[in-house]
Chain A
């Protein structure tokens, strides 16, 4: 029998720890496939975050470094400056990138650091048990916004892609979503393009991936996809935000 499809070798055989219905597995696969297709496994170094993807070093079949919470862009900078021909990416959640690590991500973009950030935005803190993130929508209930996020109390959700697109050093910024197959394919193309931007040494690149967290949202995986489509996409419009 001819094998027509198999899991990319850029992912290890380690069993993933993610919850059922979590979209991290999809993002991992898209990133791994992009590296595979570009033929850069031997020079890629991943920097993984604190958050749900904290064990991602077990899954990506490449050299990896585990960073402190929010510091992945700084760690990636250190690696890239030592080995400018390596392909270096960070994999970060919304707490990591949009809250505790805002300084590092903004300044990496500001320097035009030739790295790629994969930003998984699911509007909540997953690993710590469903607390409010800077990307949590107004009215959304979390364990630290039990009455729903109140914008007078803690502001409106932050749009990182739009913000980083205003920075001169950003070379490619796109927001994608995982709510259906067509969008997943678009996400794959975007991730690949971001890596290509880095390889061409054009500057900083980031792909924001709108994702779900069925467990902490209190929804089934399917309901979660619907919620993403109806609530997140209108506030976080998809598309290319910056391309040079």
Chain B
């Protein structure tokens, strides 16, 4: 297929449709409006349904209903809107429903700004809503990757009956890059949705379907949570994805995801010019976090220190520190307020660290 020059948001929407998503419920918010706009144009053409909800709260509950009815369904929003969706997301997790949620992050807290940010890392990876649950969180760093990851997002949601979040900063959504839509070669085997509410009579060849997150007795709730936790362990075992770039025998290891990871690659080139060997660990799944990769890389004798770079105040840094567990220095560069460090600034920081370590 020929390459197309597309915005990240448009590519995400188109890739979702190609992954079999026929239903979209959302509410306008900058900087992700190209997703609902694309869906509004395309879904009626393929017999699907786009509906602009009255609020993010309603949108996520429409997703709950549609997912419960057995559909491949998604919604998208940006930070403040995602906060509004959190009630629905924990209900979806509790009711074990599959769906995909895109968060094109903007600055926060509060109304924040509309510029790119990574301030929702905690919210996305540590639950966000109430209760003991996780979402699978995927973090693409290019328009092509954002498009490629959609099929996987929907498949993971179906396989593990869990909400999956695509977490990207506004730059990924607004940037145009060439994109090629690949036909999926090896499709994963998906479970049949016998639990979906499609209409039932005593003659149906399945049990009466009840989509529910209410487990009123201690025993029932304990059973649900044990089931969820064992599923989360399975996800942690099977689904971690990470890009390692130049990490072997590196002196310094940068840790970053999304747009910042690309800037880190530019910094690594600058550092090579200064004779410093630096590498990058870029988590593609933020949850499950690639702790083993970080740990192994940090354990290399060559590694002097790790530097986590974010468009936030040190959120992923905590997961890096847990993985490194004090074995090496774990420094941080980043600021909230949609401020993006430049490649030069990252390189300068590493050079400073190097002087301190020599």
Contacts and interface: CB of A to CB of B under 8 A. Distances in A.
A47 B204 contact: no
A173 interface: no
A82 B71 contact: yes
A83 B199 contact: yes
B88 A41 contact: no
Chain B CB within 10 A, most for which of A47, A66, A67, A79 = A79
A78 B201 contact: no
B66 to A, nearest CB: 4
B62 interface: yes
A83 B62 contact: no
Contacts of B214: 54-55, 66
B91 A74 contact: no
Interface string B200-214: 111010001111111
A75 B62 contact: yes
Given A54-B214, A79-B69, A82-B23, A65 B197 contact: yes
A45 B70 CA distance: 13
Given A65-B65, A78-B67, A71 B58 contact: yes
A42 to B, nearest CB: 4
Nearest to B204: A42
A75 B58 CA distance: 8
A43 B68 CA distance: 15
A75 B64 contact: yes
Interface stretch (A19-27, A56-64, A211-219, A232-240): A56-64
Interface stretch (B48-56, B102-110, B166-174): B48-56
A16 B210 CA distance: 17
A107 interface: yes
B54 A107 contact: yes
Contacts of A66: 95, 210-214
Given A63-B198, A107-B54, A107-B58, A76 B65 contact: yes
A75 B88 CA distance: 10
Chain B CB within 10 A, most for which of A47, A74, A77, A86 = A74
Contact of A68 (B25, B54, B61, B200): B61
B208 to A, nearest CB: 6
Nearest to B66: A78
Give the contact-size bracket for chain A: 35 or more
B61 A83 contact: no
Contacts of A226: none
Interface string B211-224: 11110000000000
Contacts of A55: 214
A61 B208 CA distance: 8
Nearest to B72: A82
B66 A64 contact: no
A174 to B, nearest CB: 24
Contact of A79 (B51, B55, B65): B65
Contact of B69 (A62, A82, A103, A110): A82
A13 to B, nearest CB: 13
A196 interface: no
B61 A45 contact: no
Contacts of A54: 214
Contact of A78 (B65, B87, B200, B210): B65
12 contacts: A62-B208, A64-B212, A66-B95, A66-B213, A76-B65, A78-B23, A78-B61, A78-B66, A82-B65, A82-B69, A83-B199, A111-B51
Interface of B: 23, 25, 49, 51, 53-55, 57-59, 61-71, 73, 87-88, 91, 95, 197-202, 204, 208-214
- Closest 4 pairs (CB-CB, A-B): A78-B65, A74-B61, A78-B66, A63-B197
